[in-house]
Amino acid sequence: MSEPKIDTRLWSARARHLSPYVPGEQPKHENLCKLNTNENPFPPSPKVAEAIAKVVGQQGDELRFYPDPESDALRSALAKLYNLNTNQVFVGNGSDEVLALVFASFFIKERPVLAPDISYSFYPVYAQTFGVELVQIALEEDFSIDPDAYRQPCGGIIIANPNAPTGLLLSLADIRKLATEHTNSVIVIDEAYIDFAKVNENDSDSDTAAVSAINLIDEFDNLLVTQTFSKSRSLAGLRVGMAFGNVSLIEALTRMKNSFNSYPLDKLAQAGATASVLDTEYFEQTCQQVVDLREALTAQLTALDYQILPSQANFVFARPPNGDASSVAEALRKQGIIVRHFDKPRISEYLRITVGTSDQHQRLIDALAVLHNHKAHTAAVS
């Protein structure tokens, strides 16, 4: 059956002109080595399934009732974890929904929002969706973020930290500078990957516990930090995101949420996410395993003459020896190994490779070794 033709005559002008976000590919093939969407290689805490099963029960009777609209138990657990008050915590249906509410609550202004030119590709989509002017600030030659480049009038700033797809970490000192210099604008630090980050040795504000900008929210009423359960807590399929900030910022998000969808998290998501937060031992153990695997993968790729940025996330940003990232990605795909290639200026020669299991890494490295040996042999013969 042929695909039906889409008729846009009944669409609003905004819907007609949107350029939607394209999520990472979710192929369905046997024996797939999937290293393209930054999912965690480990399962979530066993307590997550136990909590969800308890809610469902034998007959699912609890599912007749609406969930807690404010997710009080989950917010309380997160507040205790980060030594905050519950009214400094907001939760939503994945960090993507939380970020959409952020744009709607704080960025619809006459002044533009500032963001890195190479970062999470959903930011321009949000800006277009909500009619927000987005000014993209170029990364430095080494792909780092220079906070001084943001020293201009704006209606807000949003930065992924660690940044994606580079994996580079902005220091707390630099975030403090942004918040100090833009007291009348909301500074959003999107920490989807922060749990895999180590202390930045160049950050004078850091100690062994201070990597997240959550540590600064009591100091700055214009600082909002977003996170997700999708990466470090292995719950991408549960769709839970959160934001931390001053009570006034959280109240704005809550008002916007209740004007859009007052029940963003169902009973199962609330129960599973709360159980995950409470199992700190499992969480810390698996995060460290991912960090160790990241370092091992970096060493393996470096041995193949790949250039690797110093990632603080659960992925590496890697440039093949000849910069032929597109052809490498296609060659890997033919062997059932999926990595992410961005065909965009400045980063088209790089691959973003998710940290996987040791077995997945070995399969990747073996395939790359054969590929590059073949190319070297072909070049020598020619």
* Cα distances (Å, whole numbers) of residue 289 to 232, 235, 276, 282, 295: 11, 17, 17, 11, 10
Token pair 């201070």 is at which residue? 210
Taking each helix axis from N to C end, the angle separating 358-381 and 280-303, rounded to the nearest 10 degrees, works out to 10
Helix or strand run (H / E) with residue 13:
helix 13-17
Q: Using the predicted structure, report yes or no on whether residue 378 has a pLDDT greater than 60.
A: no
Token readout for 122 is 């959903």
Residue ranges of E strands in the chain: 33-35, 89-92, 113-116, 134-137, 156-160, 186-190, 223-228, 241-245, 307-308, 315-319, 337-341, 351-354
Give the mean model confidence (pLDDT) for residues 269-298. Answer: 98
DSSP code at position 231? S
68 vs 30, residue with greater confidence: 68
> Are the C-beta atoms of 264 and 97 separated by less than 8 Å?
yes
Angle at 317 between CA 324 and CA 294, to 5 degrees: 130
Give the mean model confidence (pLDDT) for residues 185-189. Answer: 98
pLDDT score at 26: 64
Give the mean model confidence (pLDDT) for residues 159-180. Answer: 97
Is the four-CA dihedral 363, 344, 131, 106 of positive or negative sign?
Answer: positive
57 vs 357, residue with greater confidence: 357
Give the mean model confidence (pLDDT) for residues 118-125. Answer: 94
* Cα distances (Å, whole numbers) of residue 193 to 182, 251, 262, 378: 25, 25, 27, 40
Tens digits of per-residue pLDDT, 239-255? 999 999 999 999 999 99
Q: How many CB atoms lie within 10 A of CB 222?
A: 22
Alpha helices in 57-171 (DSSP H): 72-81, 94-102, 122-129
pLDDT-derived band of residue 15, with 50, 70 and 90 as boundaries? confident
Report percent pLDDT > 70 for the chain.
92
Give the mean model confidence (pLDDT) for residues 93-105. Answer: 96
Burial 270-298 (b: 16+ CB within 10 A, else e): bbbbbbbbbbeebbeebbebbbebbeebb
Determine the longest span between alpha carbons in the chain, in angstroms: 71
Rg (CA), the chain: 22
342 vs 28, residue with greater confidence: 342
* Cα distances (Å, whole numbers) of residue 377 to 201, 305, 363, 382: 42, 16, 21, 9
Q: How many CB atoms lie within 10 A of CB 126?
A: 23
Rounded to whole angstroms, the Cα distance separating 287 from 197 reads 9
pLDDT-derived band of residue 256, with 50, 70 and 90 as boundaries? very high
> Are the C-beta atoms of 110 and 155 separated by less than 8 Å?
yes
Is the four-CA dihedral 158, 348, 341, 14 of positive or negative sign?
Answer: positive
How many helices (H) and strands (E) are present in the chain, helices listed first? 11, 12
